[in-house]
Amino acid sequence: MNLLPELGFECLTENEDFFMNCLLRYVMENGSVFRGYYGSYIWKNIGSIEMNFHILPGEDSYHLAGFTSHVSGDQVWQLAVADSRQCYDDDECESVLERWVTFTHPLTHEGSIRLYLVNADVVPDFFPNDVIAVQVIAIAQEVTYYADEDAYNQSEPLAQLMGKPVHFASNNVLSILDMSVAVGAIKDVSMRFCTDAKGKPKEFYCVTIATSYGTLEIMHAKERVAEGEEALIRPGGFVKANCMLLGDVAMGKYQRGAIHDQEHLTRLFRSCIECRDFTRITNVLAEDCRYRSRKYEIVAQGKADVFAHLSGIAAKQKEQEMDCRAYPAVVFAIEGNDEGEEASFEFPIGTHCIALSQNEEGNIDAVLFIMLNEDNQICEIRNAGEKEGIYKVKINRGEDPARNDDFAPVRCARSEREWLEVVQACYEQGHFDDIAFYYGMLPDCVLESETPPEVDVDFPITGREPIYTYLSGRVTYDEHTTECEILDGSRWGHEYALKTDIDSSVHMTVIDVDAEGAIVKISEYQP
């Protein structure tokens, strides 16, 4: 992920000869290494910017697989993984060392933000509800400054909704696809720097805002600031930034790289099963690794054979479009272990394993255990059979925190009479601020009327927002004498019609509905 141009340092990458023979060579010779499970990251700070190269292993040489420009900020967020299927081959990543992950708030499970993860291969698994520490920054591609929040609210809105302007929420960050928008009052302003291709230091901005996830540092080049806005870059000012969110996960227990123990390698294996790609597990398989079936038979022997066996299963699942899910699990009890001598059993209490569901019902039909050798490599993968029946496992099915089970979508499909009942309720309540009615109208909905308008308006009216504005003009929360009644509508070619009497001004309303139950046309007639 090359974001150097956004920071004002496109000069470091626009010349391929300089980038490959100077910058790359300098980082390789002077940088530090984070080891992932499959590859490595070699990084070096040049001023405030981290140059991070992705290196994949090979038999005779190493292979350069990617590059990330990052800024080591000061803000660490605790985030909960929101989406369950984290497949690196589906999300525009160029290698297994890259990863996009969607997160949500760890406590409220509200909102979702999408981060490009720096040093992603040091984390074995991304499973729903997992809480991960991430050092987060935003690098802005477009940035706009305002004197204060009132000035922002007076700026050009995104759209009009029910007569009101729509802006991005203040003191918030949200993601739309891989892009994010951060909006908020400026808490602090500082300068960061890097050197250009000639070795000359150059500064770029870092402004901080508050969000529901934590304080966010927004970085951008000085050149990104529009003329006249630089004076607004101050505490108390206001900023809106279209940006990319980057998060470094090489923190906490992962600050020295990938961890090779039974828990982490089991989770790594689970991730490979879920992604149906066993590339990341290649370097942790022992040369004499074996795969045992439920009958305790060795069905694959040796690293290459085991990898081929696993890849063959994954290929078959893809070909047959099988819905196979893999869940983290842990041994919590052992039958016949009344004296608490767990150490005498092959898989003591606390051993991590994988529960598989390979059927439409979602029932668990297999449990996999992995065993490690003295070098912390996987020496055996065992599909639990009768022999392992004494082990009781607790399964984490990872309820997706981004899904609200109480969510009820707005009902925008109704019959002709049902829509007339909605309109009747709007008149009787004295306002049309009904989101279902608003979105029940198609964007190109038409309103025709024979009723003399109280304001200067040309009929027909086309469009959801203009129709809403016109109807709202009749009942503006003032005191009205309103009576409504649904009657036979055959006189106007409809099954039903709504008779509305507002302050002794009477009109009839009929509604045309399409095959999907949306409002296509509203017609008003004199009785």
Average pLDDT rounded to a whole number, residues 475-503 = 87
Return the H-helix or E-strand segment holding 275. helix 262-275
* pLDDT of 399: 64
Report the CATH fold assignment for 416-525: Nuclear Transport Factor 2; Chain: A, (3.10.450)
Residue 229 has pLDDT above 70, yes or no: yes
**Cα radius of gyration rounded to whole Å, the chain:** 30
Residue 46 main-chain phi, psi, to 5 deg: -115, 100
Q: What is the mean pLDDT of residues 218-238?
A: 95
* Confidence label for 416 from pLDDT (cuts 50, 70 and 90): very high
**Residue 292 and residue 300: Cα distance in Å, rounded?**
7
Instruction: Report pLDDT for 251.
Output: 87
End-to-end CA distance of the chain: 66
Tell me what the mean pLDDT of segment 283-296 comes to.
92
pLDDT at 92 over 70: no
**pLDDT for 306:** 95
pLDDT computed for residue 258 by the predictor:
93
Greater confidence (339 vs 231) lies with 231
Per-residue pLDDT of 28-71, as tens digits, reads 999 999 899 999 999 999 999 999 999 988 778 888 988 999 99
Q: In what order do the strands lie in the sheet containing 391-395?
A: 298-301, 285-292, 378-383, 366-372, 352-357, 325-334, 391-395
| pLDDT, tens digit, 9 for 90 and up, residues 376-396 | 999 999 998 878 888 888 998
Using the predicted structure, report yes or no on whether residue 84 has a pLDDT greater than 90. Answer: no
- Encode pLDDT of 310-325 as tens digits: 999 989 888 887 878 8
Q: Report pLDDT for 88.
A: 54
Contact call for residues 202 and 10 (beta carbons, < 8 A): no
Alpha carbon 205 to chain centroid, angstroms: 26
**Rounded Cα gap, residues 297 and 295, in angstroms:** 5
Write down the domain spans for the chain.
5-71, 260-395, 416-525
Percentage of residues in the chain with pLDDT exceeding 70? 93
Q: Is the pLDDT of residue 454 over 70?
A: no
The answer to whether domain 260-395 and domain 416-525 are alike in fold is yes
User: Which overall architecture, per CATH, does domain 260-395 show?
Assistant: Roll (3.10)
Contact 52, 30 (CB under 8 A): no
Is residue 230 within 8 A of residue 223, CB to CB? The reply is: no
